[in-house]
């Protein structure tokens, strides 16, 4: 199971923490965010990780090196300009037929092995890990017709969604649809796949998931660090 970690973003939502540090190196408890992710992948049996890097890439490469400390072979794909979330994959020439792609700021107890197995067994073009989320609107929502007549009203409704967790299994064949040298995001890939009627599957996860791209979520993760580590590593973690 080859894993591509997207670690090249500017981390603008997490400023000021990311002014001098790339987001994957922002501390969480006594570790970095990506340190925790690599420990999870190592326990899943992952042997090869490629990090797509750009912003402050020299710091990421100096910290993680060749991955020997984690028992994982780590190499790097360096962007000379931002290519969004899927564009960097076009730079990688030695990808296997199927591989995992994940954002470098996702904390979850998702079973990566099961996601990958489901993807390959069902012969999907892309399998997206999804999680349930609720969105509450703090206003009365009004529906109108084309003439401005009010046709419906709902006071502070609660909507239920399945959202992308930022972890996906991808078949290499999809990269034919990715343009070279220009930004191309996960949203672009999904819309293209749907338009071309490719096999796009969801993999529902009802456990823990936190995208720490926002200061509030990052603060929550730090405040609940001990609880978080217990969730992610119930068998314990070496200091």
With residue 130 as reference, give the H or E element that holds it: strand 126-136
- Say yes or no to pLDDT of 124 above 90: yes
Separation CA 3–CA 43 (nearest Å): 13
* Mean per-residue pLDDT, 205-220: 80
Mean pLDDT of the chain: 87
Superfamily classification of domain 3-131+162-232: Spore Coat Polysaccharide Biosynthesis Protein SpsA; Chain A (3.90.550.10)
pLDDT at 30 (0 to 100) = 76
Q: What is the pTM of this model?
A: 0.85
Share of the chain above pLDDT 70, in %: 92
Q: Is pLDDT larger for residue 211 or for residue 191?
A: 191
Separation CA 60–CA 55 (nearest Å): 9
Q: Is pLDDT larger for residue 34 or for residue 16?
A: 34
Separation CA 57–CA 75 (nearest Å): 12
Q: Is pLDDT larger for residue 10 or for residue 40?
A: 40
pLDDT interval class at 9 (50, 70, 90):
low
* Mean per-residue pLDDT, 211-225: 76
pLDDT interval class at 16 (50, 70, 90):
low
List helix spans (H) across 131-213: 186-195
**Of the ranges 18-22, 228-232, 235-239, which is most confident?**
228-232
- Say yes or no to pLDDT of 15 above 60: no
Separation CA 150–CA 7 (nearest Å): 47
The closest of 219, 235, 203 to 102, measured between CA atoms, is 203
Separation CA 20–CA 215 (nearest Å): 16
């Amino acid at each position: 199971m080859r894993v591509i970690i997207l670690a090249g973003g500017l981390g603008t939502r997490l400023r000021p923490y990311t002014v001098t540090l790339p987001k994957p190196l922002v501390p969480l408890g006594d570790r970095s965010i990506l340190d925790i992710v690599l420990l999870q992948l190592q326990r899943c049996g992952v042997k090869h990780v490629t990090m797509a890097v750009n912003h402050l890439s020299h710091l990421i490469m100096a910290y993680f090196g060749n991955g020997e400390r984690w028992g994982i072979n780590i190499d790097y794909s360096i962007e000379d300009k931002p290519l969004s979330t899927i564009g960097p994959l076009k730079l990688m020439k030695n990808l296997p037929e199927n591989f995992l792609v994940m954002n470098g700021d996702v904390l979850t107890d998702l079973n990566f092995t099961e996601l990958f197995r489901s993807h390959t067994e069902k012969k999907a073009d892309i399998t997206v890990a999804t999680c349930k989320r609720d969105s509450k609107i703090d206003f009365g929502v009004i529906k109108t017709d084309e003439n401005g007549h009010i046709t419906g009203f709902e006071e502070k409704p609660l909507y239920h969604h399945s959202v992308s967790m930022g972890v996906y299994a991808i078949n290499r064949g999809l990269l034919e649809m990715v343009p070279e040298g220009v930004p191309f995001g996960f949203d672009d890939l999904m819309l293209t796949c749907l338009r071309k009627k490719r096999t796009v599957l969801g993999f529902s996860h009802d456990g823990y998931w936190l995208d720490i791209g926002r200061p509030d979520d990052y603060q929550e993760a730090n405040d609940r660090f001990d609880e978080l580590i217990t969730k992610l590593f119930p068998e314990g973690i070496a200091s």
